[in-house]
Amino acid sequence: MTDTSGNPGSSKPWGGRFSTSADPAAEAFTASLAFDRRLWSHDIRGSIAWAHALERAGLIDKVECGAIEHGLGLVRAELESGRFTFRRELEDIHMNIERRLIELAGPVGGKLHTGRSRNDQIALDERLYVREVLGDLDAALVAVQSALLDQAERHRTAAMPGYTHLQRAQPVLLAHHLLAYVAMLDRDRGRFADCARRVNVLPLGSAALAGAAFAIDREALAHELGFDVPSANSMDAVADRDYIVEALAAAAVLGMHCSRLAADLTLWATAEFGFVEFADAFATGSSIMPQKKNPDVAELIRGKSGRLYGNLVAVLTVMKGLPLTYNSDMQEDKEPFFDTIDTLEAILRVLPPMLGSLTFRVERMREAAGADYSTATDLADYLVRKGLP
């Protein structure tokens, strides 16, 4: 490796050609470590697989590969235990891990980046992360569906008014209403599953944009990391974030469904409807009105859908005018995506216990189901069946 110890820019992976250090404000502005550090486990997993690929290609020997893998294991242990010291001047999680690897394993750690760019490295980390969280979201959605199904089973014969234009329309079963949301969530799961298939493509080996200059077995690399196939085009692999956009779009639709469910329950909990009561554990009071019982949890579920929409639009706007291939603008995909995942996980964590604790006032609902001529359509249909004009 070139000795850049006398170069003020030597702390940077790209510092060799620079004669002055980065301006502190610019350094702080461009650093992504504050948010991309959550990708550390995926970065280490990808780096271990890349070391194996370098060994298969004859670029490092077995001993060197073992030393790199051992060093990455030590870095992982530090990160897991909270002992790892993050250094903002190293910009991102990739360089923090690589620099610590070199400190622990010696100069051999510097060979790990052979044939690899941070461009294909971050694309890999993101795809590994997205694939993981999509699986977590599916499991969380199953729990919400189960809570809805349990309530539907408990109220199989409970009648209620169905609404159009917020006006009583026709009697329906409460179970039928709840199962409508089960069906919506089923499609949400399908959208995430479709997205996961497109996410599961290996970008590693694309290097900066033109592909690795070495004989890397990308099929073996894809197999080791659990990807279906390697990417077909190296420029596409490092330049696009459509898999992030697609996941954000599916998340926004899911947020809409959760918001509508919360809106129904919030409306039904009013004195004017009186169809449902929230458990005390999922409601709050008023600082001035002692009689109040506010459905704050449901209201926040409804409100947080706006964040999901905003995050989708933010990433679409970042990507819309970028020429190929990688641009630093793409660093801005992470915070919106992480926020969406955190928001969805919070919503899906609170929904099942909240739904399970609802008390439906079935007699009030039954009385409302037959009021205001809501059976008029059924009566008209009956007369038609009897042959009356």
Q: In angstroms, rounded to a whole number, what is the distance separating the alpha carbons of residues 201 and 225?
A: 10
In one-letter notation, the amino acid at residue 384 is V
Q: In angstroms, rounded to a whole number, what is the distance separating the alpha carbons of residues 229 and 386?
A: 63
Q: In angstroms, rounded to a whole number, what is the distance separating the alpha carbons of residues 338 and 250?
A: 14
What is the three-class DSSP state of 166?
coil
Q: Which residue in the block uniquely carries the two structure tokens 């609902």?
A: 365
Contact by Cβ (8 Å): 130, 247:
yes
The full DSSP string for 184-235 is HHHHHHHHHHHHHHHH-EE-TT-TTTT--SS---HHHHHHHTT-SEE-S-HH
Q: Which DSSP helix (H) or strand (E) runs through 2?
A: none
Q: In angstroms, rounded to a whole number, what is the distance separating the alpha carbons of residues 358 and 177?
A: 15
Is residue 287 part of the annotated active site? The answer reads: no
Cα separation of the two ends of the chain: 93
Is residue 165 part of the annotated active site? The answer reads: yes
- Nearest Cα to Cα of residue 177 among 162, 157, 165: 162
Contact by Cβ (8 Å): 160, 374:
no
In one-letter notation, the amino acid at residue 25 is A
Before 325, cis peptide (omega within 30)? yes
Active-site residue identified among 5, 19, 165, 328:
165
Contact by Cβ (8 Å): 238, 211:
no
Q: In angstroms, rounded to a whole number, what is the distance separating the alpha carbons of residues 161 and 137?
A: 33
Question: Which positions are catalytic?
Answer: 165, 286
